[in-house]
Amino acid sequence: DAGVIQSPRHEVTEMGQEVTLRCKPISGHNSLFWYRQTMMRGLELLIYFNNNVPIDDSGMPEDRFSAKMPNASFSTLKIQPSEPRDSAVYFCASSSRLLTEAFFGQGTRLTVV
């Protein structure tokens, strides 16, 4: 398996633009997590899905952020409109109850100018 795949790896956008980050979890994993990592706030859990259903989105910073998981092999995190303070590395991770640990993608480094 290729592991968790995220795209794009890097994104530079202007303030006010819409940004969509994509994630393909490991096949067979039924939990998917979106994290944001910054120097100031560390690793923050934004939202997680179980069996494609959003279970807890209390970490989503505001209404500008939204996430979807239309099927077991794909998830998106959208920011609209983007702001400079959204600049961070966004990680997607997936896990299976059988395996227990979460495996991380390579991350998307987002820069909003």
Partner 1 sequence: ELKVEQNPLFLSMQEGKNYTIYCNYSTTSDRLYWYRQDPGKSLESLFVLLSNGAVKQEGRLMASLDTKARLSTLHITAAVHDLSATYFCAVDTHYNTDKLIFGTGTRLQVFP
Q: Sign of the C-alpha dihedral, residues 20, 27, 95, 3?
A: negative
Q: Does 65 bind partner 1 (CB under 8 A)?
A: no
- Tokens, residue 86: 């959204």
Is 81 or 109 the residue whose CB approaches partner 1 more closely?
Answer: 109
Alpha carbons 72 and 113: distance in angstroms, whole number: 33
R_g (Cα) of the chain, nearest Å: 13
From 18-26, 40-48, 61-69, 75-83, span contacting partner 1 (CB under 8 A): 40-48
From 19-27, 47-55, 61-69, 80-88, span contacting partner 1 (CB under 8 A): 47-55
> 72-91: which residues touch partner 1 (CB under 8 A)?
91
